[in-house]
Every structure is written in C-alpha cells, then in structure tokens.
A = this chain, B = another copy of it.
Amino acid sequence: MKRLIVDMDGVLADVSAQFIAYDERDTSRRKTVAEITGLPELEMVPRANEYLRMPGFFRNAPLITGSREVLEQLNRRYELFVVSAAIEYPKSLGEKVEWLGEHFPFIGWQRIVLCGSKHIVRGDIMIDDHFKNLDFFEGRTVLFTQPHNHGQDSRRHERVNSWSEVAALLL
C-alpha cells in the first residue's frame, strides 16, 4: 500500500478564506479572491501573521470543497498521513488535531504529523500547496492550486485545481 502524505492548510482547510473573513471583520470590506491571487500567503491581508496566532483561527477554518469525500476514499486505497507544518504556531497544535477529529474522523491520531519542516517525512505521494514542501520530497508530487501559488511554474509537480481533480488522478 502506497503512503500518501496530505497537507492540511490550503489543501484540507481553507486558510485563504479564513484570512479574508478575519480581514473583513477588521476592515468591513471583503477582499475578492482576485485581489489576493498571486500574493504570498502572509501578504494576502495586512494582519495575516497575527491572525495565524489567534485562538480559533485554525479550529474554525472552513473545509475545502470535496476534501472530506475524496480523502475518505483515498484512505481506503493508501496509507494516508496528514502532515502539517504547524510547530511555529504552538497554539494551533491542539486546534488542528480537534479540527481533524471533527471533519475527518476516519483519520486516527496515528496518522497525524505536526512538524516544523517536512523534509523529515517519507512517503510515495505528497499533496501540498507549497513548493518548499514538494521540492524536497522524493516521491510523486501533486501541487494543490491556491491563490498564493497561482501562475507559478509547477516544474516536476502535477497541478490539481480541486479535490475532484485529485480523485481523477489518484483513485
């Protein structure tokens, strides 16, 4: 059984949508996706770096469409691990495990990894929205489209724009 490593933020959890929601609460104006497209994550909204450290930011993040249904099927076909680079935000750690328990109850605690750098994990396939994670992975690499990686050359990585495209690729 092949080992599939799936990222959390920007692949399962819609962190960009959460940035837009928090920014709207502060500014009373809702940014459009077009406005944030192409910007680095931490520059999408002025207070992004603060929002990431606020209690509840990760706990209440919305799901990316289709992720639950497709991941449940992938979980039967692959040795699935969810790997999130989260240690930089210690307050997020418990929230992330709770969030996964709520939305992805079929993923046991044995299959969750919270790390600083993803260089240390090994597997056969990685789905991630960041080049910094995919570029160092030894196996097959799948880039999940997010506003921050829009238009970037995907080089050796296969790009997918949605969870239905993940399903078409891996199921």
A→B interface (CB under 8 Å): 3, 5, 81, 83, 87-88, 90-91, 93-94, 97-98, 108-117, 120-123
Contacts and interface: CB of A to CB of B under 8 A. Distances in A.
A115 B86 CA distance: 12
Looking at chain A's contact residues, the main secondary structure is: mixed
24 contacts: A5-B120, A83-B120, A87-B97, A87-B110, A87-B113, A90-B97, A91-B94, A93-B93, A93-B94, A93-B97, A93-B114, A94-B94, A109-B116, A110-B116, A110-B117, A111-B116, A112-B116, A113-B114, A113-B116, A114-B115, A115-B115, A120-B122, A120-B123, A121-B122
Contact of A120 (B90, B109, B116, B121): B121
A117 B111 contact: yes
Number of copies: 2
Contacts of A120: 3, 5, 81, 83, 113, 121-123
A138 to B, nearest CB: 9
Contacts of A121: 120-122
A3 B136 CA distance: 15
A108 B108 CA distance: 28
B87 A109 contact: yes
A113 B88 CA distance: 11
Nearest to A84: B114
B109 A88 contact: yes
